[in-house]
Amino acid sequence: MENLLQSSDFVGVSFWIVSVAMVASTVFFLYEGTHVKSSWRVSILVVGLVTLIAGIHYYYMRDYWVSTGESPIVYRYIDWFLTVPLQMIEFYLILVAAGIALSSSVFWRLLIGTLIMLLGGYAGEVGWVTPGLGFVIGMAGWILIIFEIFRGESSLKAKKNKNIRKAFNSLRLIVLIGWSIYPVGYIFGFITPMIGGNEININMLNLIYNLADFINKIFFGLIIWNLAYQDSKNA
């Protein structure tokens, strides 16, 4: 019985809920992808891939957590190294789908910012660097992404297209506000306990990370699906 999910294990329950939600979202996105204009199908396919990859990793993360009681750092970061760049690519794809010409440098700036953000967080969590330094490096990558989508070329081009402006702004807010949940989890899980001379709070860390993934992967995809649906309906 010790390797079975217990009703008192709220973190384990959250792993289970998120894994099922990701699977359900994948089915929805892949099905809906057949009902939008051809120019939007790649974007919908990508959001379906994001939730599919996350769902697979959450399946393993929940088992790892229930079996060991330890934080599934490796599984989680493999998931993030695959899914977060795909989400950043979506900013590029939705603008291209709307007929907006972008330079390839937009893609590379978003990708570089994503890798810096993830590498910093991973290095801090596995002990390659101190948690504080890992946090600073990760935040630097996030700020680079924020700058690009709020002040960079992609932002300037999106402002000129009224059909895509609202959805683009919603995606920006998810990256600005929704993604801020991750550093909150890092602070409460790693930095705050270490300042007080306590052990890492893996319960708080994983609970907040799971909440962040649920919001930022599924709602991110729903915004893109709604944009594709509305554009296809009006075609």
User: What's residue 40's pLDDT?
Assistant: 85
Phi, psi angle pair for 22, to nearest 5°? -65, -40
Task: Tell me, yes or no, whether 182 lies in a domain.
Answer: yes
User: What's residue 96's pLDDT?
Assistant: 74
The DSSP result for 3-49, as a single string, is TSPPTT-HHHHHHHHHHHHHHHHHHHHHHHGGGS-GGGHHHHHHHHH
The average confidence (pLDDT) of the chain is 89
Q: What share of the chain is helix, strand, coil (3-state, %, to 5)?
A: 85, 0, 15
Task: Tell me, yes or no, whether 65 lies in a domain.
Answer: yes
How many angstroms separate the Cα of 186 from the Cα of each of 78, 117, 138, 147, 225? Answer: 17, 13, 10, 22, 30
Nearest alpha carbon to residue 55 among 18, 14, 109, 80: 18
Task: Tell me, yes or no, whether 3 lies in a domain.
Answer: no
* Domain that residue 206 falls in: 10-233
What is the CATH classification number for the domain harbouring 56?
1.20.1070.10
Task: Tell me, yes or no, whether 229 lies in a domain.
Answer: yes
Can you tell me the distance from the alpha carbon of 51 to that of 23, in angstroms, rounded to the nearest whole number?
Answer: 7
Do residues 58 and 28 lie in contact, with contact meaning Cβ atoms separated by under 8 Å?
Answer: no
Task: Tell me, yes or no, whether 160 lies in a domain.
Answer: yes
Is pLDDT at 234 greater than 90 in this prediction?
no
Do residues 217 and 58 lie in contact, with contact meaning Cβ atoms separated by under 8 Å?
Answer: no
Query: How many domains does the chain contain in total?
Result: 1
User: What's residue 98's pLDDT?
Assistant: 67
7 or 180, higher pLDDT: 180
Task: List pLDDT tens digits, range 8-22.
Answer: 789 989 999 999 999
Task: Tell me, yes or no, whether 184 lies in a domain.
Answer: yes
The CA angle 212-216-220, to the nearest 5 degrees, is 170
The conformational region for residue 36 under phi > 0 = left, psi -120 to 50 = alpha, else beta, is: beta
77 or 149, higher pLDDT: 77
Question: At a CB cut-off of 8 Å and minimum separation 6, what does 214 contact?
Answer: 17, 18, 21
Task: Tell me, yes or no, whether 1 lies in a domain.
Answer: no
